[in-house]
Amino acid sequence: MLEEKIKEVAGILAPKPALVILTGAGVSAESGVPTFRGPDGLWRQFRAEDLATPEAFARQPALVWEWYDWRRQKIHSVEPNSAHLTLARWEKYFPFFVLITQNVDGLHQKAGSTRILELHGNIWKVRCTREGKVFENRQVPLSQIPPLCSDCGALLRPHVVWFGEALPADVLEEAFKACSQASVMLVIGTSALVQPAASLPLFARQHGATIIEINLEPTPLSTYADFSLYGRAGEILPLIDQHLPRENLEVKG
Ligand code: OAD
């Protein structure tokens, strides 16, 4: 049954339709990065209100930074999995390809993806709370908690989107634009519960895209998806890839 669906999906992707992808924490799960809402999910062990809100940071910046430092150490030691690697390869073959991610771990980039819209920021970037300047920071572990801006001495914060904060407007606008142009949208490893990310596939669908979901289990999106492939992203994506015509996958240039 799954095998049949995989072949069918490969048949849809073979003619290289305008392809937009939305990924969530599930795409990094097989690399060993915890998801948020699964059985071992971060929000089962920690309260988001204590660690991932502007109010929490205002109250206890060191505590928030300790949690981010711990996550950075975890992510630092893992590698992209075959789901990330397959998507990085596909970027080269689909003439229209946009990868939208809710993940902040940077594993898509580590796998080689370059055309990425990061909806929720990036854990390897920090932002000055006074001037708003963004810096890359890959120090693991951090030498100082909380870290301070080397330019002005103000507190730095993680360059990620917290609960109650708006997503970066330019990134969100590009994401909606891509969805309006998509012929096919693949939604991989997201519980499809967090807005506005969860509305992107619905928007793509309204604009005529075929929606293909890859997840371990049904989500609120499943009702609207044309295909739901239940299984691990790191297994299903390579299987779809195997069924694509090989000439489509030759590297150009
Ligand atoms: P969740 O933790 O809510 O959902 C992860 C999804 O991945 C679940 O639906 C799992 O069934 C699925 N999953 C787990 N392992 C998988 C695998 N190997 N292959 C395929 N699917 C798998 O994570 P997100 O949907 O990404 O926001 O969460 C959205 C946002 O909520 C996050 O970006 C974060 C969080 O609060 C912010 O930090 C702003």
Measure 250 CA to ligand 1 centroid, in angstroms. 32
8-state DSSP, 103: -
Asked if residue 120 has its Cβ within 6 Å of ligand 1, the reply is yes
pLDDT class of 243 with cuts at 50, 70, 90: very high
Mean pLDDT of 38-58: 92
Mean pLDDT of 96-115: 98
> Tens of pLDDT along 62-104?
999 999 999 999 999 999 999 999 999 999 999 999 999 999 9
Which residues of the chain does CATH 3.30.1600.10 include? 39-77+126-160
**What is the model's pLDDT at position 249?**
56
pLDDT class of 253 with cuts at 50, 70, 90: very low
Phi (first) and psi of residue 186, to 5 degrees: -100, 125
Asked if residue 84 has its Cβ within 6 Å of ligand 1, the reply is no
Beta strand pairing call for 19-23 and 184-188: parallel
Mean pLDDT of 222-231: 98
Is the domain spanning 2-33+79-120+167-249 CATH 3.40.50.2300? The answer is no
**What is the model's pLDDT at position 38?**
85
Identified catalytic residue from 108, 120, 159, 243? 120
pLDDT class of 21 with cuts at 50, 70, 90: very high
Is the domain spanning 39-77+126-160 CATH 3.40.50.720? The answer is no
Which residues of the chain does CATH 3.40.50.1220 include? 2-33+79-120+167-249
* Number of Cβ within a 10 Å radius of residue 199: 14
Place of tokens 């689909």: 94
Q: What is the mean pLDDT of the chain?
A: 95
Cα separation, 132 vs 171, whole angstroms = 17
> Tens of pLDDT along 148-191?
999 999 999 999 999 999 999 999 999 999 999 999 999 999 99
| Known active-site residue 76 | no
Measure 194 CA to ligand 1 centroid, in angstroms. 9
Name the pTM for this structure: 0.96
Asked if residue 118 has its Cβ within 6 Å of ligand 1, the reply is no
> Tens of pLDDT along 32-47?
999 999 888 999 888 9
**What is the model's pLDDT at position 39?**
85
Distances (CA, A) of 21 to 16, 58, 106: 13, 35, 16
Which atom of ligand 1 is nearest to 52's Cα?
38
> Tens of pLDDT along 115-141?
999 999 999 999 999 999 999 999 999
Asked if residue 25 has its Cβ within 6 Å of ligand 1, the reply is yes
